[in-house]
């Protein structure tokens, strides 16, 4: 088993039995589902909106070269410096070069999963920069030294008491455990950082080709301040984030809000098209946009799963996923958890190491049913399983293959099947001898569940008897 | 009409009552029943595990056995989805793809066959119990089969249907998933069963014996007051 | 080859393989968007009511003022109630004159300002580009609202709007931006929907996470 697979096995086993975690997450998700469903009704035709969103993303992704070219040309024309990063290392290096050139000491960040993907924070801290995550959830996770638990809600697995303790330990500040007081404490701390920061780094939700702008969606105003106060602004964005037209936002912004948090619209949806322009009161002197590939073109080359590049990282598939809800975000061991993570991580980081994530699903399809851009998530899990068992993928599960072959022959052969029927009754009797022990072949099932008995008379036996 | 029943392996061996009930129901409606010899595995376990060649071996036999059928009925949303939705994909780019498409078109899950093909909702059944319904994921999402089972249950004398909050949540079975990741599978099942128990129903009803096997396995082990029954078994009660 | 060329080469090669379009072809028209999106009513009156309802759901304050005199009075009441000491505004003529009339220590962002001082301001008073009925949103840009920080750094953001600035829905707001600035876009365009908030602690909404704790929209009738 690969190291990530071992981690997943162990972590998921532990979390699945953690009833406290289950209660916290179930409560949060049920709350989410209620508001989300109300918002969906607000649309005249939610399913119609999903179709339009899927169509738009299909168009964008399948003409990625054109739209990307247009986006870059326009945003450059307003004085933005665009950088290209083929992989994570190049991405970090580009940003380090900017930090060095600006002689930066303090960096403020707003939420960016792409920066998590290239492990930017750790690298910056290791290089001696003072880095502050400004999004409240991310800030809490940074203080605790944990990875974000969820794409949209990084600290959703924590209770107010735990957050109060974290603040007390790491900030040396005491407040009550009321969410209001805790938030105001973070606000005070972060305000100092905005004012001190030399460079602000943001992520992006969309890159608009038609107008050459980055669009950032957030509730707290932390990205607004990150891009307003420091003298240098950097946006890290995956190359797949392009939308063709400005008006496409009119569809995507409300859909993202509804699916992400159950809001009609997130508080701040802001487009940035360059550094401070002539005549403007403020804004950064320099604006850098770093476009990241990091295996996205590999995903693009897979025509079957190319639609995954349309993902708007709304987190809805995580929220409805019964596996995610029971094992939690940290068990996955990868930045992108939940169904979308299980689908794309094998492409981004290697099928051999990460195929277990595609196995860890009952293929219930709740993710596909909810995805606002209609990514065929659970079928992609199935395709990953197929790809993993292909001879080119390494060791082709010889015994499992043989077992399936044998079963196919037996089950679809009348005489053999009737023999099997009799043998399985014998087997059930014999199992009694080893019941529940290490030697019990059904142990994985019977540890927590009872095994149904083989009927005294099978259906086919009944049918035969009747016909006589 | 001559109706061909496809009885999957585990129904044959562990839940024969489901098959027997279907025979009774269709005969009562005046149809003739055929059960082909040697077609018990649709190939889903291999297919879902990624072994598509092996799945094709299985499915090719099923294809051959069922190709002359007038209509094929399956007492499982899961096996139904396999034949209806995935056979065409499995046989894509092979000579059998046409046969797979034809079979898909005439194959139906049991409850949707009754309601949508035969136009029957009232079978004169009587079952004076409080029940809750579990939507099997494949029936619900692959076959879009939300209404038919409920239309059928609505006509059963004495039956009271109480919907549970997590009706559409997966029971955690997922075929080989249930033994590859038994802890996750069990946790999912616990969430499902907790919701079912909240309704104070006597029975969980479903169109899928595999889901019921998972639910029953868990509640029996934990000695919770809940029984399971397949929709066909209820409809055959009088 | 530069990294840019490498990436474009990989994209072009990947796209040689055509994907199957399962949800139709081509970009949808704005009319298609409007058929699925939340309804906005037909008359101006309906849309004003919609805006007001949305704003109140968002915990923003929305008030009509008859004329400039009433606007000034309203601002005086707010100033007294919250004991404003310092205010900030921009060179927009209405925002500027109204703020000055309050007689407080005032920053005008376009004239250059000190970040730390702006942070201390009790209120940022700005104009805006539009009000969007569909979602209760205020549309501001770095042109119409005195830069990037003014509408976000002070703890109370007061927007002075005009009834004629109301637009029905998001597509209309976006085409308005395109027409008004065609090509010469402000470096920041922000759709503000309610005061700053977070739900990161147990999904309980707290206002004023990093941005303004209060958002007040004063709308001139004529
Ligand atoms: S895959 Fe779909 S549901 Fe999941 S995060 Fe992406 S857009 Fe949202």
Task: Report the CATH number at residue B158.
Answer: 3.40.50
Instruction: Decide if B61 is inside a domain.
Output: yes
CA angle A28, A34, A36 (to 5 degrees): 95
CA separation for the pair C35, B139 (Å, rounded): 31
Whether A206 has its CB under 8 Å from any CB of chain C: the answer is: no
Q: In the predicted model, is pLDDT for residue B182 greater than 80?
A: yes
DSSP secondary-structure letter at C209?
S
Judgement on whether residues B9 and B105 belong to the same structural domain of the protein: yes
CA separation for the pair A9, B184 (Å, rounded): 10
Judgement on whether residues B7 and B91 belong to the same structural domain of the protein: yes
Instruction: Decide if B66 is inside a domain.
Output: yes
The Cα of B176 is separated from the nearest Cα of chain A by a number of Å equal to 9
Q: What residues of chain A lie within 8 A of the CB of C197, using their CB?
A: 219-220, 267
Residue whose token pair is 């559409």: B168
pLDDT band with cut points at 50, 70 and 90 for residue A337: very high
Cα Rg of chain C, angstroms: 21
Q: Is C58 helix (H, G, I), strand (E, B) or coil?
A: coil
The mean pLDDT of A435-458, rounded to a whole number, is 79
Judgement on whether residues B9 and B104 belong to the same structural domain of the protein: yes
Q: In the predicted model, is pLDDT for residue A455 greater than 90?
A: no
Whether C28 has its CB under 8 Å from any CB of chain A: the answer is: yes
Q: In the predicted model, is pLDDT for residue A445 greater than 90?
A: no
Which atom in ligand 1 lies closest to the alpha carbon of residue A312? 7
Instruction: Decide if B147 is inside a domain.
Output: yes
CB contact under 8 A, A265 and C137: yes
In the prediction, which pLDDT does A47 show?
Answer: 97
Domain ranges within chain A, ordered by starting residue: 1-41+314-372+383-395, 47-294, 402-466
The mean pLDDT of A185-199, rounded to a whole number, is 96
In the prediction, which pLDDT does A399 show?
Answer: 60
Mutate to test the interface with A, among C1, C27, C109 (most CBs of A within 10 A): C27
The mean pLDDT of B67-83, rounded to a whole number, is 93
In the prediction, which pLDDT does A27 show?
Answer: 93
Of A168, A314, A177, A292, the C-alpha closest to A242 is A292
Please say whether the beta carbons of C119 and A225 come within 8 A: no
Is A315 close to ligand 1, i.e. is its CB under 6 Å away?
yes
In the prediction, which pLDDT does A3 show?
Answer: 93
Chains that touch B (3 or more CB pairs under 8 A): A
Q: In the predicted model, is pLDDT for residue A396 greater than 60?
A: no
CA torsion C205→C206→C211→C217, rounded to 10°? 80
Q: Is C174 helix (H, G, I), strand (E, B) or coil?
A: helix
Nearest residue CA, atom 6 of ligand 1?
A311
CA separation for the pair B121, B153 (Å, rounded): 8
Q: In the predicted model, is pLDDT for residue A420 greater than 80?
A: no
Please say whether the beta carbons of C83 and C102 come within 8 A: no
Alpha helices in chain C (DSSP H): 3-15, 30-36, 44-57, 68-82, 93-100, 115-120, 170-181
Chains that touch A (3 or more CB pairs under 8 A): B, C
ipTM beyond 0.90?
yes
Nearest residue CA, atom 2 of ligand 1?
A371
Whether A176 has its CB under 8 Å from any CB of chain C: the answer is: no
Whether C8 has its CB under 8 Å from any CB of chain A: the answer is: yes
In the prediction, which pLDDT does C182 show?
Answer: 84
Count of the separate structural domains present in chain B: 2
Whether A320 has its CB under 8 Å from any CB of chain C: the answer is: no
Is A312 close to ligand 1, i.e. is its CB under 6 Å away?
yes
Please say whether the beta carbons of A59 and A244 come within 8 A: yes
In the prediction, which pLDDT does C21 show?
Answer: 80
And the tokens for B226?
């809940």
Judgement on whether residues B184 and B98 belong to the same structural domain of the protein: no
And the tokens for B19?
């098959």
A383-397, A454-468, B19-33, C153-167, range with the lowest pLDDT: A383-397
The mean pLDDT of B98-116, rounded to a whole number, is 96
Superfamily of domain C42-220: NagB/RpiA/CoA transferase-like (3.40.50.10420)
pLDDT band with cut points at 50, 70 and 90 for residue B127: very high
Out of B117, B147, B172, a domain closes at B117
Q: In the predicted model, is pLDDT for residue A393 greater than 60?
A: no
Q: What is the pLDDT of residues A164-178, one digit of tens each?
A: 999 999 999 989 999
In the prediction, which pLDDT does A402 show?
Answer: 65
Q: Ligand 1 test: best mutation among A345, A367, A371, most atoms within 8 Å of CB?
A: A371
Instruction: Give the nearest chain A residue to C200 (CA atoms).
Output: A137
pLDDT band with cut points at 50, 70 and 90 for residue B224: very high
CB contact under 8 A, A300 and C189: no
Instruction: Give the nearest chain A residue to B13 (CA atoms).
Output: A458
The mean pLDDT of A40-61, rounded to a whole number, is 97
A246-250, A458-462, B151-155, C19-23, range with the lowest pLDDT: C19-23
Show the domain range for B211: 130-235
Is A340 close to ligand 1, i.e. is its CB under 6 Å away?
yes
In the prediction, which pLDDT does A171 show?
Answer: 95
CA separation for the pair A143, A420 (Å, rounded): 59
In the prediction, which pLDDT does B221 show?
Answer: 94
Q: What residues of chain B lie within 8 A of the CB of A424, using their CB?
A: 13
In the prediction, which pLDDT does A430 show?
Answer: 61
Is A317 close to ligand 1, i.e. is its CB under 6 Å away?
yes
Among A residues 416-435, those touching chain B with beta carbons less than 8 Å apart: 417, 421, 424
In the prediction, which pLDDT does A442 show?
Answer: 77
Report pTM: 0.93
Strands C206-207 and C197-198: antiparallel
Q: In the predicted model, is pLDDT for residue A446 greater than 90?
A: no
The mean pLDDT of B69-86, rounded to a whole number, is 93
In the prediction, which pLDDT does A219 show?
Answer: 98
CA separation for the pair A319, A314 (Å, rounded): 10
In the prediction, which pLDDT does A154 show?
Answer: 96
A47-294 has CATH 3.40.50.10420 classification: yes
Whether C156 has its CB under 8 Å from any CB of chain A: the answer is: no
Q: In the predicted model, is pLDDT for residue A6 greater than 80?
A: yes
pLDDT band with cut points at 50, 70 and 90 for residue A451: confident
Q: What is the pLDDT of residues A8-23, one digit of tens each?
A: 999 999 999 999 999 9
Q: What residues of chain B lie within 8 A of the CB of A386, using their CB?
A: 50, 52
Please say whether the beta carbons of C154 and C212 come within 8 A: yes
Whether A6 has its CB under 8 Å from any CB of chain B: the answer is: no
CA separation for the pair B79, B208 (Å, rounded): 9
- As a whole number, the mean pLDDT across chain A is 92
C28-51 burial, b if ≥16 CB within 10 A, otherwise e?
A: bebebbbebbbebeeeeeebbebb
Out of B73, B94, B117, a domain closes at B117
CA separation for the pair B18, B33 (Å, rounded): 14
User: Shortest CB distance from C28 goes to which of A56, A253, A279?
Assistant: A56
pLDDT band with cut points at 50, 70 and 90 for residue A403: low
The Cα of B143 is separated from the nearest Cα of chain A by a number of Å equal to 12
Please say whether the beta carbons of B12 and B40 come within 8 A: yes
In the prediction, which pLDDT does A440 show?
Answer: 67
Domain ranges within chain C, ordered by starting residue: 42-220
pLDDT band with cut points at 50, 70 and 90 for residue A405: low
And the tokens for A112?
């960016």
Instruction: Decide if B7 is inside a domain.
Output: yes
Of A308, A283, A281, the C-alpha closest to A296 is A308
Q: What is the pLDDT of residues C169-197, one digit of tens each?
A: 999 999 999 999 987 999 999 999 999 99
Judgement on whether residues B106 and B53 belong to the same structural domain of the protein: yes
Strand partners for A130 = A106
In the prediction, which pLDDT does B81 show?
Answer: 93
Whether A395 has its CB under 8 Å from any CB of chain B: the answer is: no
- As a whole number, the mean pLDDT across chain C is 96
Residue whose token pair is 């990953």: A384
Judgement on whether residues B169 and B85 belong to the same structural domain of the protein: no
Out of B73, B96, B117, a domain closes at B117
Instruction: Decide if B173 is inside a domain.
Output: yes
Instruction: Decide if B124 is inside a domain.
Output: no
């Amino acid at each position: 088993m690969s190291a990530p697979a071992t981690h997943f096995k162990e972590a998921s086993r532990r979390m699945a039995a953690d009833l406290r975690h289950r209660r916290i997450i179930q409560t949060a998700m049920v709350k989410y589902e209620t508001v989300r469903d109300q918002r969906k009704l607000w649309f005249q035709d939610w399913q119609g909106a999903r179709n339009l969103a899927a169509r738009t993303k299909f168009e964008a992704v399948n003409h990625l070269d054109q739209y990307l070219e247009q986006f870059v040309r326009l945003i450059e024309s307003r004085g933005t410096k665009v950088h290209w990063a083929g992989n994570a290392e190049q991405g970090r290096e580009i940003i380090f070069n900017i930090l060095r050139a600006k002689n930066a000491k303090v960096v403020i960040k707003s939420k960016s999963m792409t920066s998590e993907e290239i492990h930017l924070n750790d690298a910056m801290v290791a290089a001696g920069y003072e880095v502050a995550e400004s999004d409240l959830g991310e800030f809490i996770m940074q203080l605790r030294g944990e990875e974000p638990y969820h794409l949209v809600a990084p600290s959703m697995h924590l209770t107010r008491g735990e957050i109060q303790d974290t603040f007390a330990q790491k900030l040396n500040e005491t407040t009550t455990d009321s969410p209001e007081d805790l938030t105001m404490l973070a606000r005070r701390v972060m305000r100092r950082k905005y004012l001190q920061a030399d460079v602000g780094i943001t992520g992006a939700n969309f890159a608009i080709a038609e107008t050459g702008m980055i669009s950032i969606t957030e509730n707290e105003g932390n990205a607004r301040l990150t891009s307003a106060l420091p003298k240098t602004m950097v946006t890290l964005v995956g190359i797949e984030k392009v939308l063709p037209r400005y008006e496409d936002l009119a569809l995507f912004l409300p859909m993202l809000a509804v699916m992400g948090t159950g809001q009609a619209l997130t508080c701040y949806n802001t487009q940035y098209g360059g550094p401070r322009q002539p005549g403007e009161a403020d804004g950064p002197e320099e604006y850098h946009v770093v476009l990241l590939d990091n295996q996205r073109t590999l995903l693009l080359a897979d025509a079957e799963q190319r639609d995954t590049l349309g993902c708007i990282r709304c987190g809805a598939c995580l929220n409805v996923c019964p596996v995610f809800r029971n094992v939690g975000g940290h068990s996955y061991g990868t930045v992108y958890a939940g169904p979308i993570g299980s689908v794309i991580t094998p492409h981004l980081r290697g099928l051999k190491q990460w195929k277990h994530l595609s196995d860890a699903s009952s293929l219930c399809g709740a993710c596909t049913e909810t995805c606002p851009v209609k990514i065929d998530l659970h079928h992609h899990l199935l395709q990953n399983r197929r790809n993993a068992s292909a001879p080119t993928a390494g060791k082709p599960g010889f015994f499992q293959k043989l077992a399936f072959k044998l079963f196919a022959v037996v089950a679809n052969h009348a005489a053999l099947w009737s023999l099997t029927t009799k043998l399985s009754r014998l087997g059930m009797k014999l199992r009694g001898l080893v019941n529940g022990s290490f030697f019990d072949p059904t142990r994985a099932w019977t540890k927590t569940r009872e095994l149904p008995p083989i009927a005294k008379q099978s259906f086919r036996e009944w049918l035969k008897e009747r016909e006589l | 009409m001559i109706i061909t029943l496809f009885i999957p392996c585990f129904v044959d061996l562990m839940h024969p009552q489901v098959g027997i009930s279907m025979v009774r129901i269709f005969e009562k409606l005046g149809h003739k029943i055929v059960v082909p010899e040697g077609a018990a595995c649709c190939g889903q376990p291999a297919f879902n595990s990624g072994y598509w060649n092996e799945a094709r071996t299985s499915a090719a036999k099923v294809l051959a056995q069922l190709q002359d059928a007038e209509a094929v009925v399956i007492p499982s949303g899961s096996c139904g989805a396999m034949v209806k939705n995935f056979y065409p994909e499995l046989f894509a780019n092979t000579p059998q793809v046409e046969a797979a498409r034809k079979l898909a078109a005439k194959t139906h899950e049991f409850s949707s066959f009754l309601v949508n093909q035969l136009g029957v909702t009232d079978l004169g059944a009587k079952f004076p119990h409080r029940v809750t319904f579990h939507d099997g994921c494949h029936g619900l999402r692959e076959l879009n089969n939300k209404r038919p089972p409920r239309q059928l249950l609505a006509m059963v004398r004495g039956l009271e249907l109480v919907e549970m909050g997590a009706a559409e949540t997966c029971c955690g079975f997922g075929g080989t998933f249930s033994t590859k990741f038994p802890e996750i599978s069990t946790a999912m099942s616990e969430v499902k069963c907790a919701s079912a128990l909240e309704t104070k129903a006597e029975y969980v009803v479903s169109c899928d014996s595999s889901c019921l096997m998972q639910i029953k396995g868990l509640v029996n082990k934990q000695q919770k007051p809940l029984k399971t029954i397949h929709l066909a078994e209820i409809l055959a009660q009088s | 080859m530069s990294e840019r060329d490498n990436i474009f080469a990989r994209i072009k090669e990947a796209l040689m393989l055509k994907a199957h379009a399962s949800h139709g072809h081509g970009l949808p028209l704005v009319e298609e968007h409007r058929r699925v999106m939340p309804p906005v009513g037909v008359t101006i009156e309906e849309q004003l009511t919609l805006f007001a309802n949305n704003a109140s759901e968002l915990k923003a304050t929305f008030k009509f003022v008859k004329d400039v005199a009433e606007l000034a009075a309203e601002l005086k009441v707010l100033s007294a109630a919250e004991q404003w000491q310092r205010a900030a505004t921009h060179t927009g003529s209405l925002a500027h004159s109204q703020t000055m009339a309050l007689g407080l220590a005032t920053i005008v962002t376009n004239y250059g300002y000190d970040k730390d001082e702006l942070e201390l301001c009790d209120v940022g008073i700005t104009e805006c580009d539009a009000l969007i009925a569909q979602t209760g949103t205020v549309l501001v840009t770095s042109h119409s609202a005195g830069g990037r920080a003014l509408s976000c750094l002070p703890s109370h953001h007061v927007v002075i709007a005009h009834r004629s600035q109301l637009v029905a829905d998001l597509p209309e707001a976006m085409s308005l931006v395109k027409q008004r600035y065609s090509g010469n876009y402000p470096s920041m365009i922000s759709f503000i929907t309610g005061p700053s908030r977070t739900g990161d602690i147990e999904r309980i909404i707290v206002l004023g996470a990093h941005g303004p704790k209060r958002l007040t929209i004063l709308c001139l009738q004529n």
